């Protein structure tokens, strides 16, 4: 599904370069639940944003379903991303002036889904996440855990094949974190590929593979352990 070959990212500093990622080769198969781990500054979030096609100033090759992402222009890359990828952020990044319902509706509106379909999809998602009663609340009226649940719901509302999560429980206490990770596990069980950045061994335990980064290098987990959790 995802294949990175020789991906590197650096910042030029005068005549020298500061590398953030070095010679990254990584394959991720559909249905995997991958945890990217490593110390601060190892390049975890950078790798996640390259995978999420937000970052395009890198070198190397990136194939998504055999489509060479590194050769796509910004518009095609955005279209590919919108079709396949959902994001969950550490700080939730919900829009404070929009209700839970409107926050969920947002990704669909960017995918030209009709108003009627949007409403039905959002209602289904709210139901699935058991948040129907909160649909008219604003994010500031929710707890951190509830906000992150909305963040996940927003990530899945457009039915992506992959969810990228950047330290999704980083701002939550352990009980809330568990609830979120259970949700990820459930989604993964339903077939969604999950790639998370985490510092937590416990959270990594929800997945079936760990990619360890240090100083921009993958030191462990480069290859896929399983083609499918069931495998």
Burial 121-141 (b: 16+ CB within 10 A, else e): bbeebbeebebeebbeebbee
Contact 100, 137 (CB under 8 A): yes
Residue 89 as a binder of another protein (CB under 8 A): the answer is: yes
Residue 81 as a binder of another protein (CB under 8 A): the answer is: yes
Residue 158 as a binder of another protein (CB under 8 A): the answer is: yes
H, E, C per residue of 21-63: EEEEEEEECCCCEEEEECCCCCCHHHHHHHHCCCCCCCEEEEE
Report in angstroms how near the CB of residue 208 gets to another protein at its nearest.
26
Burial 65-82 (b: 16+ CB within 10 A, else e): eeeebbebeeeebeebbb
Side-chain half-sphere CA neighbours of 187 within 13 A: 30
Residues listed for the chain: 231
Q: Which of 90, 148, 192, 196 binds another protein (CB under 8 A)?
A: 90
Q: Which is nearer to another protein, 81 or 134 (CB)?
A: 81
Residue 82 as a binder of another protein (CB under 8 A): the answer is: yes
Q: Which is nearer to another protein, 27 or 55 (CB)?
A: 55
Residue 161 as a binder of another protein (CB under 8 A): the answer is: no
User: Hey, how many other C-beta atoms are within 10 angstroms of the C-beta on 62?
Assistant: 24
Q: Which is nearer to another protein, 153 or 209 (CB)?
A: 153
Q: Which of 18, 68, 76, 95 binds another protein (CB under 8 A)?
A: 95
Interaction residues for another protein, span 185-204 (CB under 8 A): none
Report in angstroms how near the CB of residue 93 gets to another protein at its nearest.
4
Contacts of 225 (CB under 8 A, 6+ apart): 208, 209
Q: Which is nearer to another protein, 64 or 87 (CB)?
A: 87
Binding window for another protein (CB under 8 A); candidates: 26-34, 107-115, 194-202, 220-228? 107-115
Closest residue by Cα to residue 64 from 28, 105, 32: 28
Backbone φ and ψ of 23, nearest 5°: 40, 60
CA distance 215 to 22: 8
Residue 174 as a binder of another protein (CB under 8 A): the answer is: no
Residue 106 as a binder of another protein (CB under 8 A): the answer is: yes
Report in angstroms how near the CB of residue 106 gets to another protein at its nearest.
6
Binding window for another protein (CB under 8 A); candidates: 24-32, 73-81, 138-146, 196-204? 73-81
Positions in the binding site for another protein (CB under 8 A): 49, 52, 54-55, 75, 78, 81-82, 87, 89-91, 93, 95, 106-107, 109-111, 154, 158
């Amino acid at each position: 599904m995802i294949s990175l070959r020789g991906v590197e990212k650096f910042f030029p500093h005068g005549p020298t370069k500061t590398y953030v990622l070095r010679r990254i080769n990584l394959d991720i198969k559909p249905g995997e639940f991958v945890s990217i781990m490593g110390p601060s500054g190892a390049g975890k979030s950078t790798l996640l944003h390259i995978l999420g096609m937000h970052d395009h100033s890198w070198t190397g090759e990136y194939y998504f379903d055999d489509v060479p992402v590194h050769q796509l222009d910004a518009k095609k890359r955005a279209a590919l991303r919108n079709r396949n990828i959902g994001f969950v952020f550490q700080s939730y990044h919900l829009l404070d002036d929009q209700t839970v319902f409107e926050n969920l509706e947002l990704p669909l509106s960017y995918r030209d889904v009709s108003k009627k379909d949007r409403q039905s999809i959002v209602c289904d998602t709210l139901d699935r996440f058991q948040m129907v009663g909160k649909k008219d609340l604003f994010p500031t009226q929710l707890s951190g855990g509830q906000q992150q649940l909305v963040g996940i719901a927003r990530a899945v509302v457009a039915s992506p094949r992959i969810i990228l999560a950047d330290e999704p429980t980083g701002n939550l206490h352990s009980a809330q974190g568990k609830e979120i990770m259970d949700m990820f596990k459930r989604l993964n069980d339903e077939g969604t590929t999950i790639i998370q950045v985490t510092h937590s061994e416990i959270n990594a335990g929800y997945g079936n593979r760990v990619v360890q980064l240090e100083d921009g290098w993958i030191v462990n987990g480069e290859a896929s352990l399983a083609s499918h959790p069931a495998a």
